[in-house]
């Protein structure tokens, strides 16, 4: 049976973000039974079912994994959202700043400041010390406060929410959205976004999904993915 106890579970990510599992359809056995549908077969016991699922992963028979679906509610900053929506096999519905007024603390403040990688134009490597980063954190918080004050000033002047949001810091503001994906395409997302070279912020969300939802819901599939799919050095917890 699907891991119904996971539905409604919420896990904190980053400073103000979270992931909540809203719904789950299927389990490891659903994948196995889908693979046996070609000859109208069903479960043959745990040992043989487990062996078949591992075989499916090892030999890239992916369609049975599409029989399981996850539905999440996610709160994450736009800098993460922009990377996430590139996975177009997901279905998304997002909060709209045209309908919802943003709160004063709806902005991402990094815990540490990463240095630019000298060898990779799109990556970071190393961190500033706490002392080096503190002035930047203070400046960022002051910037957010100034932006939010201007946003509230525009609303108070009667400006429409859809236009007043131009004052908000675009990449840092938190949005909430509902998204749905099948297990095969979620594995593809996890393979890319848990990779050591993925941006830290989206890596944090991917790891949370894998550790708190995917692996508990699909333990055999997770075992097979760790054996045959994820790159060496991938942090899984």
C-alpha–C-alpha distance, residues 146 and 133, integer Å: 20
> pLDDT tens for residues 144-189?
999 999 999 999 999 999 999 999 998 999 999 999 999 999 999 9
> pLDDT tens for residues 46-62?
899 999 999 999 999 99
Residue 130 near residue 179 (C-beta atoms within 8 A): no
Q: What is the CATH number of domain 4-94+173-228?
A: 3.30.1360.170
What integer pLDDT is reported at residue 86 of this predicted model?
A: 94
Residue 43 near residue 29 (C-beta atoms within 8 A): yes
Query: Is 165 assigned a catalytic role?
Result: no
Q: What percent of the chain has pLDDT over 70?
A: 97
Domain ranges of the chain: 4-94+173-228, 114-167
Is 2 a residue whose pLDDT tops 80?
no
Nearest Cα neighbor of 114 from 132, 96, 102 is 132
Region 192-212 average pLDDT: 95
56 to 24, 104, 158: CA distances (angstroms): 21, 49, 59
Residue 147 near residue 168 (C-beta atoms within 8 A): yes
What integer pLDDT is reported at residue 41 of this predicted model?
A: 62
What integer pLDDT is reported at residue 40 of this predicted model?
A: 54
First to last CA, the chain: 25
Of the residues 36, 88, 98, 193, which is catalytic? 193
What integer pLDDT is reported at residue 71 of this predicted model?
A: 98
> pLDDT tens for residues 211-226?
999 999 999 999 999 9
What integer pLDDT is reported at residue 74 of this predicted model?
A: 97
Is 210 a residue whose pLDDT tops 90?
yes
Over the chain, what is the mean pLDDT?
A: 93
Region 89-106 average pLDDT: 87
């Amino acid at each position: 049976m699907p891991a119904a106890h996971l539905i409604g579970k919420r896990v904190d990510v980053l400073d103000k973000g979270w992931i909540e599992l809203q719904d789950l359809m299927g389990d490891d056995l659903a994948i196995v039974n889908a693979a046996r549908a070609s000859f109208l077969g069903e479960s043959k016991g745990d040992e043989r079912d487990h062996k078949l699922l591992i075989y499916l992963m090892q030999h890239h028979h992916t369609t049975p994994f599409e029989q399981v679906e996850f539905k999440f509610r996610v709160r994450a900053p736009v800098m993460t959202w922009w990377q996430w929506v590139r996975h177009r096999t997901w279905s998304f519905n997002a909060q709209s700043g045209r309908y919802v007024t943003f709160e004063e603390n709806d902005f991402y403040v990094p815990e540490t400041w990463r240095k630019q990688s000298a060898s990779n134009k799109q990556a970071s490597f190393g961190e500033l010390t706490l002392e080096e980063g503190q002035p930047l954190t203070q400046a960022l918080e002051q910037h957010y406060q100034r932006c939010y004050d201007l946003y509230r000033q525009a609303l108070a002047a009667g400006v429409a929410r859809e236009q007043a949001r131009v004052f908000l810091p675009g990449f840092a503001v938190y949005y909430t959205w509902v998204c749905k994906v099948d297990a095969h395409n979620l594995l593809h997302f996890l393979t890319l976004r848990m990779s050591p070279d993925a941006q830290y912020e989206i890596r944090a969300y991917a790891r949370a999904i894998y550790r708190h939802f995917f692996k508990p819901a699909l333990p055999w599939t997770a075992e097979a993915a760790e054996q045959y799919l994820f790159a060496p050095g991938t942090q899984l917890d």
